[in-house]
Amino acid sequence: MNTTILTNSFPVNDLGEIKQKVLDWIQKFDTFCFLDNHQYHIEPHTQECLAGAGARRKISANAGNALDQLQEFIDGGKSWFFGHLGYDLKNETGWLTSGHTDKIGFPDLFFFEPEIIIRLNDKEMIIEADEPAEIFDAIVSLPVGKRRRPTTPLCIQSRIQKEEYLSIVRELQKHILRGDCYEINFCQEFYAEPAIVDPITIYKNLTEISPNPFSALYRIKNKWLICASPERFLKKQGSKILSQPIKGTSERVMKDKRKDELSREALLHSGKDRSENVMIVDLVRNDLAKICKEGTVVVDELYGVYSFPQVHQMISTISGELKKGISFSEIIRSTFPMGSMTGAPKKKVMELVEQYEKTKRGIFSGALGYISPGDDFDFNVVIRSIMCNISSSYLSIQAGSGITYYSDPEKEWEECLLKAGAMKKVISE
């Protein structure tokens, strides 16, 4: 990329305002990716905010030989790349098929080399572009508190009604009892149609009430992902790779500190949630062992409980040292889809997902992130998200939970509603 790099400082108190201005400025591009850490600094932390806009080169592919195409694209020149891995890449990595409806229409894989890269840290903006000074001036000169266009409240419908959901969970528990699987992440869709929305406004409103460390606003022409994810899928830094799966959720009680702490403690000591978490930790260890040097895969943290605006979450960290010369596509083939969004054993539960879920997951429970010019990368898990297709006026929210033999179907239903709550609130009020 033949660009100039410009670094400019701004007052530390202006970080939130600068982010809003960057968002307002990049929305004119039909392809962009805006990644926001919301000052969580979950280790290992790289930068507060990273955005890529405009496409010098791009690749769009569906499962078949998509990862081979992506590797060829990456090998075509060292640069920044932004993009996503859709859940249905499982059809390539796991030799599976999908037949459900997908009304959003993200490709299974899309990456682009941006024309403009903007990085924000606590008090500086770094711009890589052909004319970075002009871009900086254009961003900072945008008016403060730009009026947001209203979003008309939408009527949210459930793809699966409660009684059917409870029945499906009981059927899944029969599969577990027969030994077909140990745990399965079962998801359901909430949707609105027609949905006339402004994605920028929705993102700003969602991250006001639910700012999470792996949030993102992502656009490919008429398709938008509005994401408030708390979960990291996979990060590579030098020769080290790590994954931070989430399994275990409890509600925040923001108006009562004692009840909120009791909710957190209940999650920390929950036998069911610990069982779910350790199953996924073992799955991730096995995935990483395929691509890491022997004896280097370790569990850095087990059963860590972290608090976010809407929920407490149980997070574990697993890391290892990569084998020399291993490629990005090899890493993804060995680890994707992430265990926290499938269950164990991975291939069997993905077959059950296809059997019992009603719609394609698409970009949901996939991964969004970036690859740096030095071949490091960081990808989230696409959860706590709103997906919309502006052309077809269709909006989708998906939410799921981990089903085990000991799950209470009613509580699993309530967990899905809890996880979808923030998204439903910003589009239905």
Condensed to tens digits (0 to 9), the pLDDT of residues 163-172 reads 999 999 999 9
Q: Region 185-203: what's the mean pLDDT?
A: 94
Q: How many Cβ atoms sit within 10 Å of the Cβ of residue 155?
A: 11
For residue 41, the model assigns a pLDDT of: 66
Domain regions of the chain by residue span:
4-239+320-428
Going by pLDDT thresholds of 50, 70 and 90, the confidence category of residue 151 is low
HSE-up of residue 65 (Cα within 13 Å, Cβ side) = 4
For residue 43, the model assigns a pLDDT of: 67
The answer, yes or no, to whether residue 360 has pLDDT greater than 60, is yes
The answer, yes or no, to whether residue 147 has pLDDT greater than 60, is no
The answer, yes or no, to whether residue 429 has pLDDT greater than 60, is yes
Percent of the chain surpassing pLDDT 70: 96
How far CA 259 is from CA of 254, 309, 405, in Å, comes to 9, 15, 28
Q: Region 85-95: what's the mean pLDDT?
A: 93
Pick from 226-235, 286-295, 302-311: least confident: 302-311
Going by pLDDT thresholds of 50, 70 and 90, the confidence category of residue 4 is confident
Asked if 393 and 382 count as a contact pair (C-beta separation under 8 A), the reply is no
Going by pLDDT thresholds of 50, 70 and 90, the confidence category of residue 115 is very high
Going by pLDDT thresholds of 50, 70 and 90, the confidence category of residue 313 is very high
The answer, yes or no, to whether residue 6 has pLDDT greater than 90, is no
For residue 214, the model assigns a pLDDT of: 95
Asked if 219 and 83 count as a contact pair (C-beta separation under 8 A), the reply is no
For residue 272, the model assigns a pLDDT of: 87
Q: Region 152-157: what's the mean pLDDT?
A: 87
For residue 47, the model assigns a pLDDT of: 77
For residue 60, the model assigns a pLDDT of: 98
Strand-strand pairing, 311-321 and 298-307: antiparallel
Backbone angles phi, psi at 25, to 5 degrees: -75, -40
Going by pLDDT thresholds of 50, 70 and 90, the confidence category of residue 12 is low
Token pair for 346: 């991975």
Alpha-carbon span 225 to 87, nearest angstrom: 14
Q: Region 230-250: what's the mean pLDDT?
A: 95
Q: How many Cβ atoms sit within 10 Å of the Cβ of residue 373?
A: 12
Q: Which residues are catalytically annotated? A: 231, 247
Class of domain 4-239+320-428: alpha beta
The answer, yes or no, to whether residue 331 has pLDDT greater than 70, is yes
Alpha-carbon span 316 to 243, nearest angstrom: 8
Q: Region 398-408: what's the mean pLDDT?
A: 93
Going by pLDDT thresholds of 50, 70 and 90, the confidence category of residue 90 is very high
Residue type at 229 in one-letter notation? S
Whole-number mean pLDDT of the chain?
Answer: 93
For residue 39, the model assigns a pLDDT of: 81
The answer, yes or no, to whether residue 377 has pLDDT greater than 70, is yes
For residue 338, the model assigns a pLDDT of: 96
Pick from 142-151, 172-181, 325-334: least confident: 142-151
